[in-house]
Amino acid sequence: MLKSIGKKKVTYVGYTKNLSNRIKLHNGGKGAKFTRGRKWRLIYKEKCATKSQAISREYYIKKNKALRNLIKKNKQ
């Protein structure tokens, strides 16, 4: 999970094989359309054994607002 740096704090959840490269892409204005125009920092990560597990976990975290807010609150 990434959290934006700036006045309005928003989060972004995604999956990747190369986390450091993905953060560089997001901070460089590439990658997901939602992430463009903001600077991001990593606040939470999980490692999954398969791509299928990663996609399932990403979906769960995206849809579970209470969990996202808990992670966001604990990583301020």
pLDDT score of 13 more than 70: yes
Instruction: Tell me the mean pLDDT in the region 41-57.
Output: 95
pLDDT score of 1 more than 80: yes
pTM of the full predicted structure? 0.85
Other Cβ atoms closer than 10 A to 49: 7
pLDDT for the residue numbered 72: 86
pLDDT for the residue numbered 7: 82
Distance CA 54, CA 28 (A): 24
Instruction: Tell me the mean pLDDT in the region 20-39.
Output: 90
pLDDT for the residue numbered 51: 96
Indicate the number of domains in the chain: 1
Which residues form the domain of 43?
2-74
